[in-house]
Structure 1
Amino acid sequence: MNLRFLETFVWVARLKSFSLTAEKLHTTQAAISHRIATLERELGVRLFERDARDVRLTAEGADALDHAERIVRAAAEFRRRMSDPKALRGTVRIGVIDTIAHSWLPQLIDRLRHTYPDVALELNADTSVDIAKDILANEVDLGLMMGPVEGHGIVNIELCTFACVWVASPRLGVPDGPLELTDLARFPILSFPRSSKPHKAMVGYFQRLGEEEVRLHTAGLSTLIRLASDGLGVAAIPAATIQREIAEGTLLALNVRQPFPPLSLHAVYQEAGDRPLPGLIAEIAREVADAFCRSVDPLIAW
């Protein structure tokens, strides 16, 4: 049985489109149709129901998909183990959230530069929600983000967890001592962008007050740090990204009774037997994240 035909079957099932699969595998739609027809003849079953607008798995196709994915996964792992890093080339599109960009991304880039000198990285900073959409749409090869992401053929590798700490500028005049949510709500609340998981967590966090009038001012991480440092509000920020500001005293860690939920970070990619690089880079990201966590206070990152 032709492994390439199995890989084609898996991609058609994921993308639900012969044309998108042809684009993904850099071939023609006719070639994709031929591979699927040949595979169906070999197996003696119909894998897809096709009409002018839709491609759907048959019952037999849905049963076959799980087995095909396992075979493709094993082949991809074999390729990864046998690949010579110096021989790998190409461009890898990576979506990354600001939290990682402000912590261990530079170490990852440096490691990749030495490990895969002929691989180009195309980095795009975005929210986890949008990166997940791009991965599912095959517009990003690897996401470094808050996960996990659900979907056929999606691999989630746990990287690390970052604790969040409430902070404010000394000039804002937040009182010392244990603070309740009602104490925080007296000040402007700075939050991550509206579509992000931390923002949703922030909304739920203040719903405990039973008040809907807590006003959240949203921005990306760099802007949040700047606004909080300038005394324009209080913010819950991953402690690993503001160690310098806390050490210099431009931001003070607040003693809040109800801790803000930590951020769980993942490397996420779609398995593809013909493209080992996303999986290889994800494993290196895990090693770099682990080394970063061991270099800081274990209460900050683990």
Structure 2
Amino acid sequence: MIGNLFTLKQLEALIWVADLGSFRRAAAHLNTTQPNISARIAGLESTLGVTLMRRDAGSIRLTEKGHALLVQARRVLREAERLVDIAARPDLIDDSLRLGVTEVVASTWLRPFLRSLAEAYPNLTVELTVDLSRDLDQELAANALDLTVQTAPFSTPASGQLNLATYDYIWVAAPELAAQIGPAPDLAALVRHPVLGHARHTQAYQDLIGYFDGTRAPKARLVPSSSLSAAMNMVLDGMGVAVMPRVMVAPALAEGTLKTLSATWHPQPLQVAARYHTERTPGHVSRAAELARSCAEAFDVQDQKNLSRP
């Protein structure tokens, strides 16, 4: 038997050094010290009699053997996680999940999702990032995040992707401004006011640009923002109109602090997906994505019930 030759911690160190490109970053992720990580890698190399990686001008490069062993190390750790699954001991998953979400998710069903994660994996630590989808995309590609819940379009591929929800856009304004504009405004009536909304690189903003450029309406005063919450606060204060995901402004509509404008055009619906890299993430990441889908679906059911209430 080879059970005493190397440990799961050594294989774990190999994986994280390879994924993060740094002994220091691997040590921080695994809550240990850099010398400890170095010792694990050195012990694995000594036992197997191979060189796994080379340090070159501050960077880490896997050798040919290192790449081959990395693939097998991932398989071994996944199989070890299956032992935990069979034993029904999710509390033994003592790891961190680097989760990135967009603001739409953070303002709607993030809390029940985090509660579901805590119930499923009580010793899993969530490192949360709330950012623009474009930036989450880049961080996922760079191995800086394990799982993203973000909005299309996606600029980089991910081998694991679950479609979670589709959110329609609506035009809204503060009650006083909505009364001035009227119940069924034409485009010219809308663009007499600043149009608040998404950041410049988003699909919704590009849809706005494309639509307004193709009309004879007065030039719109588009006011992009990297924070939809900040844009919504500006709308609440009567500083302009906005086209927003309905799910995000639903509470304000229910309270009467925002009013819907019955415009005839809207950006294409917002597509939300959970994304991860199947080949290099542990099993609990894919299960977290499944939990995200369940929470998104449950939130949508409740949202539809709220809409149907008189």
Alignment TM-score, normalising by the size of structure 1: 0.71
Alignment check: 8 A CA contact 1:76 1:272 kept: no
Evaluate the alpha carbon distance shift between residue 166 and residue 33 of structure 1 in structure 2; reply closer, same or farther with a 3 A threshold. farther
1:230 paired residue among 225, 237, 240? 237
Partner of 1:44: none
* Amino acid of the structure 2 residue aligned with 1:88: I
Q: Write out aligned runs for 1:281-300 (5 A).
A: 281-297=288-304
| Runs of at least 5 residues in structure 2 that lack an aligned partner in the other structure | none
1:192 paired residue among 189, 198, 222? 198
2:117 paired residue among 92, 112, 118? 112
Rounded to whole Å, the distance in 2 between the matches of 1:286 and 1:124 is 19
Partner of 2:94: 89
* Amino acid of the structure 1 residue aligned with 2:259: L
Partner of 1:205: 208
Alignment check: 8 A CA contact 2:165 2:272 kept: yes
Rounded to whole Å, the distance in 2 between the matches of 1:76 and 1:254 is 55
Alignment check: 8 A CA contact 2:141 2:156 kept: no
Rounded to whole Å, the distance in 2 between the matches of 1:39 and 1:162 is 53
* Amino acid of the structure 2 residue aligned with 1:228: V
* Amino acid of the structure 1 residue aligned with 2:205: M
Alpha-carbon displacement from aligned partner over 1:90-132 (angstroms, at most 9, x marks no partner): 4333222221121111211222333333333332322222223
Rounded to whole Å, the distance in 1 between the matches of 2:107 and 2:100 is 14
Rounded to whole Å, the distance in 1 between the matches of 2:192 and 2:81 is 54
- Structure of higher CA gyration radius: 2
Evaluate the alpha carbon distance shift between residue 250 and residue 61 of structure 1 in structure 2; reply closer, same or farther with a 3 A threshold. same
Partner of 1:280: 287
Q: Write out aligned runs for 1:103-252 (5 A).
A: 103-147=108-152, 148=154, 150-151=156-157, 155-172=160-177, 173-177=180-184, 179-180=186-187, 182-194=188-200, 198=202, 200-210=203-213, 214-252=221-259
Alignment check: 8 A CA contact 1:193 1:218 kept: yes
Alignment check: 8 A CA contact 2:193 2:221 kept: no
Alignment check: 8 A CA contact 2:23 2:38 kept: yes
* Amino acid of the structure 1 residue aligned with 2:206: V
Alpha-carbon displacement from aligned partner over 1:23-82 (angstroms, at most 9, x marks no partner): 7677646865886899998xxxxx9999657778999999x79x8799579748846843
Task: Give me the identity figure in percent.
Answer: 30
Evaluate the alpha carbon distance shift between residue 259 and residue 58 of structure 1 in structure 2; reply closer, same or farther with a 3 A threshold. farther
3-state DSSP of counterpart to 1:209 = helix
Stretch deviating more after TM superposition (209-218 or 98-107): 209-218
Evaluate the alpha carbon distance shift between residue 205 and residue 21 of structure 1 in structure 2; reply closer, same or farther with a 3 A threshold. same
Rounded to whole Å, the distance in 1 between the matches of 2:256 and 2:109 is 22
Evaluate the alpha carbon distance shift between residue 10 and residue 20 of structure 1 in structure 2; reply closer, same or farther with a 3 A threshold. same
| Runs of at least 5 residues in structure 1 that lack an aligned partner in the other structure | 42-46
Task: Flag the structure with more relative contact order, 1 or 2, with Cα contacts below 8 A and sequence separation at least 6.
Answer: 1
2:271 paired residue among 264, 267, 270? 264
Evaluate the alpha carbon distance shift between residue 244 and residue 280 of structure 1 in structure 2; reply closer, same or farther with a 3 A threshold. same
* Amino acid of the structure 2 residue aligned with 1:184: L
* Amino acid of the structure 1 residue aligned with 2:210: Q
Alpha-carbon displacement from aligned partner over 1:116-173 (angstroms, at most 9, x marks no partner): 3333333232222222333333333332222546357x53222212112111122122
Rounded to whole Å, the distance in 2 between the matches of 1:120 and 1:57 is 29
Rounded to whole Å, the distance in 1 between the matches of 2:149 and 2:125 is 17
Alignment TM-score, normalising by the size of structure 2: 0.69
Evaluate the alpha carbon distance shift between residue 10 and residue 281 of structure 1 in structure 2; reply closer, same or farther with a 3 A threshold. same
